Amino acid sequence: MDVQPACQVLRTEAALRQAVARWRMAGPPVALVPTMGALHEGHLALIRAGAAGGAQVVVSIFVNPKQFGPNEDFTAYPRTEAMDVALAAGAGAALVFAPGVEVIYPAGFATTVRVGGLSEGLCGAQRPGHFDGVATVVTKLLLLCLPDAAYFGEKDFQQLQLVRRLAADLNIPVRIEGIPTVREADGLAMSSRNRFLTADQRRIAPLLAGVLHDIALALAQDGARVAAELAAGRRRLLAAGFDPVDLEVRAPADLAPLERVTGEARVLAAAWLGRTRLIDNVAILPGSGSFAAG
Ligand code: PAF
């Protein structure tokens, strides 16, 4: 990872709006990469994608309390701002927006953005209120920055589809770009939470991607085997020490559950290794005899 001295860090709405307005007068497009910090290669791929399109890239760093449940890891979530700023600069960010909680949720804040349907199953079922928190903060970040494009990773596939939906539904004039998942050499999807894995758990963790790839390959060849492949995948993960395991095949656009694969589909997983919840997903491309690691 390329670490650069730093880039500008802004903390207020007024400072961000002024910087973006200045760019707008000069002409280049503006891209937003929303993050909660603890940046890794997955985030840097989003920043590089924005910068490659010639945009001035704003990276927001905000650990959003509204998307953590009462028993989740909000307090333990890694906070590494100085390193994040250097990494963002190295990847081509023009500035970092790192507001305090009072900037995003000032006293009296009372609005929740809720995306019906898409926020309900999968991670939404396991983490009640999580996607309302995500939808609320992403809406705020988009309206604060007013970027031409915003970049999200396909690793959080449900989040990506939900953001696409909210931007369309609320007429927010922004292009939502989904960027393929960045993986470690052994296939594990990069995540800020991987640092919570013990050495033993880290050895086991890549099996999640392996099982998803095997299911995607099998279903690309025979779309009628959804139930059988999911059951076999679940067994393999439980036997390796993941528990609980949620594995599902869904339609990519609206995430409707699929009992049979007849067109493009996605296999999604959420599975716990000890106290760490890992998520991942892979595209199923029927007829191609293959899959796309997404
Ligand atoms: O994916 C994340 O890091 C967060 O959910 C996001 C999009 C930055 C909103 O807090």
pLDDT tens digits for range 197-235: 999 999 999 999 999 999 999 999 999 999 999 999 999
Catalogue the E-assigned strands of the chain: 8-10, 30-35, 56-61, 93-97, 149-153, 175-179, 245-250, 265-273, 276-285, 290-292
Task: Choose one of 121, 147, 179: the last residue of a domain.
Answer: 179
Is the domain of 83 the same as that of 157?
A: yes
What percentage of the chain reaches a pLDDT higher than 90?
88
> Are the beta carbons of 240 and 169 closer than 8 angstroms?
no
Instruction: Please indicate, yes or no, if residue 186 is contained in any of the structural domains.
Output: no
Is the domain of 139 the same as that of 199?
A: no
Is the domain of 171 the same as that of 142?
A: yes
Query: pLDDT per residue over 2-44, tens digit each?
Result: 665 578 999 999 999 999 999 999 888 999 999 999 999 999 9
Instruction: Please indicate, yes or no, if residue 67 is contained in any of the structural domains.
Output: yes
Instruction: Please indicate, yes or no, if residue 187 is contained in any of the structural domains.
Output: no
Is the domain of 196 the same as that of 171?
A: no
Q: Which pLDDT band holds residue 112 (cuts at 50, 70, 90)?
A: very high
Q: In the prediction, which pLDDT does 289 show?
A: 57
CATH code where residue 32 lies: 3.40.50.620
Q: In the prediction, which pLDDT does 4 show?
A: 58
Is the domain of 13 the same as that of 114?
A: yes
Spatial distance between the Cα atoms of 35 and 98, rounded to a whole number of angstroms = 10
The dihedral built from the CA positions of residue 183, 185, 187 and 193, taken in this order, carries a sign that is negative
pLDDT of 274 above 60: yes
Q: In the prediction, which pLDDT does 71 show?
A: 86
Is the domain of 173 the same as that of 56?
A: yes
Query: pLDDT per residue over 252-264, tens digit each?
Result: 999 999 999 999 9
In order of 160, 248, 281, the CA distances from 271 in angstroms are 19, 12, 11
220 lines ligand 1 (CB under 6 A): no
For residue 244, whether the previous peptide bond is cis, meaning omega lies within 30 degrees of 0, is yes
Specify the pTM. 0.94
Q: In the prediction, which pLDDT does 130 show?
A: 94
Task: Choose one of 122, 148, 179: the last residue of a domain.
Answer: 179
Choose, from 40, 43, 130, 213, the residue flagged as catalytic.
43
Query: pLDDT per residue over 179-200, tens digit each?
Result: 999 999 999 999 999 999 999 9
Spatial distance between the Cα atoms of 140 and 127, rounded to a whole number of angstroms = 21
Total tally of structural domains belonging to the chain: 2
pLDDT of 251 above 80: yes
Q: In the prediction, which pLDDT does 266 show?
A: 98
Q: In the prediction, which pLDDT does 155 show?
A: 97
Q: In the prediction, which pLDDT does 79 show?
A: 95
Is the domain of 133 the same as that of 248?
A: no
| 43 catalytic per annotation | yes
Query: Best substitution site from 33, 40, 61, 67 to test ligand 1's pocket, by max atoms within 8 Å of Cβ?
Result: 67
User: Please, what's the b/e burial string for 273-282 (b: 16 or more CB within 10 A of its CB; e: otherwise)?
Assistant: beebbbbbbb
Q: Whose CA is nearest to atom 2 of ligand 1?
A: 35
Instruction: Please indicate, yes or no, if residue 36 is contained in any of the structural domains.
Output: yes
Spatial distance between the Cα atoms of 241 and 77, rounded to a whole number of angstroms = 24
Q: Whose CA is nearest to atom 1 of ligand 1?
A: 35
Task: State which residues form the domain around 97.
Answer: 8-179
Tokens of 100: 């305090």
pLDDT of 288 above 60: yes
Is the domain of 209 the same as that of 273?
A: yes
Task: Choose one of 179, 213, 236: the last residue of a domain.
Answer: 179
Backbone φ and ψ for 293, nearest 5 degrees, come out as: -70, 110
Query: pLDDT per residue over 121-159, tens digit each?
Result: 788 788 889 999 999 999 999 999 999 999 999 999 999
Instruction: Please indicate, yes or no, if residue 1 is contained in any of the structural domains.
Output: no
Tokens of 106: 């000032």
Q: Which pLDDT band holds residue 276 (cuts at 50, 70, 90)?
A: very high
Q: How far is the CA of 232 from the centre of ligand 1 (A)?
A: 32
Instruction: Please indicate, yes or no, if residue 185 is contained in any of the structural domains.
Output: no
Instruction: Please indicate, yes or no, if residue 184 is contained in any of the structural domains.
Output: no
Instruction: Please indicate, yes or no, if residue 216 is contained in any of the structural domains.
Output: yes
CATH code where residue 228 lies: 3.30.1300.10
Spatial distance between the Cα atoms of 100 and 17, rounded to a whole number of angstroms = 16
Higher local confidence (pLDDT), 53 or 294:
53
Is the domain of 220 the same as that of 126?
A: no
Backbone φ and ψ for 291, nearest 5 degrees, come out as: -140, 165
Spatial distance between the Cα atoms of 123 and 159, rounded to a whole number of angstroms = 9
Is the domain of 268 the same as that of 237?
A: yes
Is the domain of 170 the same as that of 220?
A: no
Is the domain of 81 the same as that of 171?
A: yes
Query: pLDDT per residue over 41-65, tens digit each?
Result: 999 999 999 999 899 999 999 999 9
Tokens of 234: 């679940």
In order of 102, 248, 263, 268, 277, the CA distances from 245 in angstroms are 37, 10, 25, 11, 10
